[in-house]
A = this chain, B = another copy of it.
Amino acid sequence: MKIGIIGSGIVGQTLGSALADRGEDVALGTRSPDRLGDKRGWGKSLDDWLRGVEHRARIVSFPDAAAHGEVVINATPGTVSLEALALCGTGNLRGKILIDVANPLDFSAGMPPVLTVSNRDSLGEQIQRAFPDVKVVKALNTVTAQLMVNPAQVAGGEHDLFICGDDERARKEVAQLLEQWFGWRNVIDLGDITNARGTEMLLPLWVRLYSMLGTPMFNFRVVR
């Protein structure tokens, strides 16, 4: 499958590597495809990343990544997602599923971080409103990048992933893709995109648990 990833930091790199490793046709989109030697946030340089995936993926611009994807993944920091997606070009996204894995977390004032949008709105909703012809499915934003692509690393995968979005068929397709790609067996479909409020507002607790546990390799299980 042709997959366009918007964002080349640790999240985009981790998703891109995992998808390229399983033979998907990945275009990793970056704002600066001419600066492959620069280290990317908590990720590697894109030169190193390309070596890591043995050049079975391409590094391209945001618009080219969006145009390439049959499915597009927003892996940018939530604080810049709307701007980054605007750079992709509306026409390159139209009609497609956009898996939004971003969180609108602002760490600039230290801990605890704050959400730049929350409660009465969410980043998922903002993206859906800005791109009404795109099928936004919020997913994977409640787990760390390494766990997104391999849930079995924690408790054999016996924990839950929350997804939501306004298009029911798109949600079902994303749930299937996440199982095929990464082995997610426990996906809880919350319904429409307003539920992104709930999953994004889980992040302050998540960040605190990360700090307490000393590892991001954990997740929530809904126990009945």
- A197 touches B (CB below 8 Å): yes
Instruction: Check: A120 CB closer than 8 A to any chain B CB.
Output: yes
Assess whether A224 is in contact with B155, with CB atoms less than 8 Å apart: yes
| A121 CB to nearest chain B CB (Å) | 10
CA gap between A200 and B131 in the complex, in Å? 31
Q: Hey, which chain B residues are within 8 Å of A220, CB to CB?
A: 220-223
Tell me if A's interface is mostly helix, strand, loop or mixed: mixed
| Number of A positions contacting B (CB below 8 A) | 38
Q: Which of A112, A154, A223, A224 has the most CB of B within 10 A?
A: A223
A sample of 12 more A-B contacts (CB under 8 A), given A115-B119, A199-B205, A202-B205, is A112-B194, A158-B223, A190-B208, A191-B208, A191-B212, A195-B205, A209-B222, A213-B222, A218-B223, A218-B224, A219-B222, A220-B220
- Which A residues are closer than 8 A to B by beta carbons? 112, 114-115, 118-120, 154-155, 158-159, 162, 188, 190-191, 194-195, 197-199, 201-202, 204-209, 212-213, 215, 217-224
